[in-house]
């Protein structure tokens, strides 16, 4: 059974009918042609389908399209404009943070949300802020450098022992 929803995608409000069993990822990809949002697993494990929903990053494969009724959705396509690439996208390109590129849109959305909420995250917060976005190509290092370069106080000296810290609850 279809339901009518109102959703704002990349600042454009729209009204449309969706099937109750359709996911937000499929809605974006197949109904809106916003194929920058990728599907790498369809079960919330890889983060390739990351979009920003009402200010928070989500796996859009685990959100029903009907649940987006009344929401604001930001996708990778909303980041760049006629003036060109968003500074974060530019940093990803220049730092070599993209190899196959399949995880990149989701990764960039996570990074954007991280910086939206805190313009100067610590090294550890950057690592954690992309921990749900799997990348099989880069080893995350250049991704990390690209995000670091966009902090309000970029830290050129990344702590070489970053891996030894940890939040509560980890051994």
Partner 1 sequence: MLLPKFEFHEPASIQEAIELKKKYRTDARLLAGGTDLLVHLKKKLITTDHVISLLRIKDLGQIKNNKESVEIGACVTMARLSESKVIQENFCAIKAGADNLGTHLIRNRATLGGNVCNASPAADTICSLIVYQAHALLESTDGKRELPIESFFMSPGKTDIRDNEILTGFKLSIPGKNCGAHYIQLGKRKSSEINIVNVASFIQFDPSDQTIMNSRIALGSVAATPIRSFHAEKILQNKKASESLFYEAGEAARHKDCKPIDDFRGTADYRKAMIGVLTKRTLDAAFKQVQAQ
Partner 2 sequence: MEKFDIISSRAPRIDTPDKATGKAVFIDDISKPGMLYGALLQSPHAHAKILSIDTSKAEKLEGVKAVITSKDAGSVKYGVSPARYDETVFAIDKVLYVGDEIAAVAAVSLETAQQAVQLIKVEYEILPAVFTVEDALKKEAPQLHENFPNNLCAQVHQEFGNVEEGLKQSDIIKTTTLKNKRQDGACIEMQGCIAEYDVREVLTLITSTQVPHYVQRTVAMVLGLDIGKVRVKKPYLGAGFGIKASANPMELACCILAVKTKKPVKMNYNREQVFMYSRARHQFTHTITTGAKKDGTIIALKHECYLDGGAYTSFGIATVYYTGSLLGGPYKLANMSYDGYRVYNNKPACGAQRGHGAVIARACFEQQLDMIAEEIGMDPMALRIKNMMNTGDTTCNDLNMSSFGMSECIEAVRKGSDWDKKKGNMPKGKGIGMACGFFVSGAGYPIYRSDTFHGTVIVKLTEDGGTALVYTASAEIGQGSDTAFAMIAAETLGIPLENIRLASGDTDMGVDLGAYSSRQTLMTGHATKEAAEHAKQQVLEVLAHKLDIPMEDMDIKKGFIEFKNHIPDFSVLRTRYIKEHRGWTDNPDSEKLTFKEASRIAFLEKGSIVGTGKYKPQLLGGKFKGAAVGTSPAYGCSAQVAQVTVDMETGQVTIDHITDAHDCGKAINMTSVEGQMEGSVSMGIGEAMHEEVIFDDKGRVVNNDLAEYKIVTSMDMPIVNAIVVESNEPNGPYGAKEVGEGAIMPTIPAILNAVYDAAGVRMNELPLTPERVYNAIQVYRKKLSA
Work out whether 40 is an interface residue with partner 2 (CB under 8 A).
yes
Work out whether 121 is an interface residue with partner 2 (CB under 8 A).
no
The pair phi, psi for residue 160, each rounded to 5°, is: -65, -20
How does DSSP assign 130-161, residue by residue? Answer: TTTS--SSSTTHHHHHHHHTTSSS--SS--TT
What are the DSSP E strand ranges found in 54-145?
A: 56-59, 72-74
Stretch that binds partner 2, among 55-63, 65-73, 126-134, 148-156 (CB under 8 A): 126-134
Work out whether 11 is an interface residue with partner 2 (CB under 8 A).
no
Work out whether 104 is an interface residue with partner 1 (CB under 8 A).
no
Interface residue with partner 2, options 23, 52, 95, 114 (CB under 8 A): 95
Work out whether 112 is an interface residue with partner 2 (CB under 8 A).
no
What Rg do the C-alpha atoms of the chain give, in angstroms? 17
Neighbours of 154 (CB within 10 A): 12
Rounded least distance, CB 31 to partner 2, Å: 12
Chain centre distance of CA 65: 18
Binding site for partner 2 (CB under 8 A): 29, 34-43, 45-46, 48, 75-77, 79-80, 85, 89-90, 92-96, 98-105, 108, 127-128, 130-131, 133-144, 158-164, 171
């Amino acid at each position: 059974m279809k339901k009518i929803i109102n959703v704002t995608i990349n600042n454009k409000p729209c009204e449309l009918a969706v099937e109750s069993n359709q996911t937000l990822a499929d809605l974006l990809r197949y109904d809106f042609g916003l194929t920058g949002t990728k599907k790498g697993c369809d079960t919330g494990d890889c983060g390739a389908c990351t979009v920003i929903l009402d200010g928070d990053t989500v796996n859009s494969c685990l959100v029903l399209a009907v649940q987006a009724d009344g929401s604001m959705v930001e996708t990778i396509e909303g980041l760049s404009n006629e003036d060109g690439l968003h500074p974060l996208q530019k940093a990803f390109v220049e730092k070599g943070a993209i190899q196959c590129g399949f995880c990149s849109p989701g990764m960039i959305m996570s990074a954007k949300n991280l910086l939206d909420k805190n313009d100067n995250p610590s090294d550890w917060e950057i690592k954690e802020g992309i921990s749900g976005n799997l990348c099989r190509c880069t080893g995350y290092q250049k991704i990390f450098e690209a995000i670091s370069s966009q902090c309000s106080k970029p830290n050129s000296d990344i702590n070489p022992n970053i891996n030894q810290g940890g939040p509560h609850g980890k051994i």
